Copies of this chain bind each other. A is one copy, B any other.
Amino acid sequence: METLYVELGERSYPIYIGSDLIRADVLAQHIPSSQVMIVTNETVAPLYLDTLLSSLPGFKVDVIRLPDGEAYKTLEHWTLIFDALLSCRHNRTTTLIALGGGVVGDMTGFAAACYQRGVPFIQIPTTLLSQVDSSVGGKTGVNHPMGKNMIGAFHQPVAVIADTQVLNTLPDKELSAGLAEVIKYGLIYDPDFFDWLEHNMEALREKEPTALATAIYKSCRIKADIVAQDERESGVRALLNLGHTFGHAIEAHAGYGAWLHGEAVAAGTMMAVNLSLKEGWLSIADAERIERIFVAAGLPVKPPRDMTESHFRELMAVDKKVVDGSLRLILLEQIGRGVVTGSFSSEHLSATITEMTA
């Protein structure tokens, strides 16, 4: 087991990374009273709830199961957590445990932020994406019909348990989607990690535990470094959005869920790579390395075939934003160095969209 400390003053917390970590000796030290509420979903509960329950001897444990999927990341379903907490008479010393992917983690964290004005929560992310993404940063929340993650809070967990063993039941497609974010960390911040990923992609796709633990550790460390510089997202933290502006357009076009977030980010990153190339930053050789690693990770490197130039222009509000100067993108100066910038040629951007949708 490796332990990574996310340093945030009095809100610092450990991320435990390794195999077979859903255990009493890991959990109990982070639970201050006898009350625990597990929040999970209908897909994860049959797989890991028993393991978690048997790791909480001596605690008064209640469980709420939410339906599985981004469609249920709503205020309506979020309130079910409060109904459960109050029905089971949990007081302000209770601890919430999120057992599931990003949706469960975001909703549980937000409920913990607001129950009696704040109670502790532990995250046990069960997808690679949530292990490398929502483990760090303290962003919690739910969607509103008019926008994703519009309602939420910054609330740090008291501990995160990233157990590589739970990834054994993760579908390959979701593993690949998580790898998109892992690759992103190398691209924006750490060329050595990118090299390492090139050499270990096969082991990662085969779910080799040591390789997974290394990838998770390095990803979380990079994210923690960036978040520590910018907890409230006013500057450098935007780097984490590499590929996301193009990616969100892809998700919106395909319909959320039709393309996994990580898949859209991979294709979106290739668009950022294409533009970075035109700006004279990346070499062709580096652009090809990036394309190869996404392919090796089982990820798309182009937007959906039916997406046209005008789809992108409209979904990204390109014309309006270019006029008012508000379009900022994350581009790559080189592998391992991302930049947040509004300084790129709008002709280059147009050419990128044209080429990538050809």
A75 surroundings in chain B (CB, below 8 A): 75, 79, 82
Q: Which residue of B lies closest to A113 (CB)?
A: B153
- In the bound complex, CA of A26 to CA of B199 (Å): 62
> How far, in Å, is A230 (CB) from chain B's closest CB?
14
Q: Is the CB of B151 within 8 A of A115?
A: yes
| A141 touching B117 in the complex, CB below 8 Å, given contacts A75-B75, A147-B86 | yes
| A152 touching B86 in the complex, CB below 8 Å, given contacts A75-B79, A79-B75 | no
> How far, in Å, is A320 (CB) from chain B's closest CB?
13
Q: CB of A285 within 8 A of chain B?
A: no
**Interface bin, chain A:** 20 to 34
Q: CB of A252 within 8 A of chain B?
A: no
| A152 touching B87 in the complex, CB below 8 Å, given contacts A75-B75, A79-B75, A82-B144 | no
Q: CB of A118 within 8 A of chain B?
A: yes
- Among B82, B113, B147, contact of A150 (Cβ-Cβ < 8 Å): B82
Q: Which residue of B lies closest to A152 (CB)?
A: B117
Q: Which residue of B lies closest to A89 (CB)?
A: B146
A79 surroundings in chain B (CB, below 8 A): 75
Q: Which residue of B lies closest to A74 (CB)?
A: B79
Q: CB of A229 within 8 A of chain B?
A: no
Question: C-beta contact mask, A7-35 vs B, less than 8 Å → 1, else 0?
Answer: 00000000000000000000000000000
- In the bound complex, CA of A82 to CA of B75 (Å): 11
- In the bound complex, CA of A151 to CA of B83 (Å): 11
Q: Is the CB of A86 within 8 A of B117?
A: no
- In the bound complex, CA of A114 to CA of B152 (Å): 5
Q: CB of A116 within 8 A of chain B?
A: yes
Q: Which residue of B lies closest to A111 (CB)?
A: B151
Name which of A87, A118, A139 has the most chain B CB atoms within 10 A of its CB. A118
- In the bound complex, CA of A141 to CA of B118 (Å): 11
Question: C-beta contact mask, A131-155 vs B, less than 8 Å → 1, else 0?
Answer: 0000000010100101101111110
- In the bound complex, CA of A152 to CA of B116 (Å): 6
- In the bound complex, CA of A201 to CA of B115 (Å): 39
- In the bound complex, CA of A149 to CA of B92 (Å): 12
Q: Which residue of B lies closest to A79 (CB)?
A: B75
Q: Which residue of B lies closest to A78 (CB)?
A: B75
Question: C-beta contact mask, A78-116 vs B, less than 8 Å → 1, else 0?
Answer: 010011001100000000000000000000000001111
Q: Which residue of B lies closest to A115 (CB)?
A: B151
Name which of A117, A149, A153 has the most chain B CB atoms within 10 A of its CB. A117
Question: C-beta contact mask, A48-81 vs B, less than 8 Å → 1, else 0?
Answer: 0000000000000000000000000001000100
Binding site for B on A (CB under 8 A): 75, 79, 82-83, 86-87, 113-118, 139, 141, 144, 146-147, 149-154, 232
8 interchain pairs (CB within 8 A)? A75-B82, A82-B150, A86-B144, A87-B146, A114-B141, A116-B151, A117-B139, A117-B141
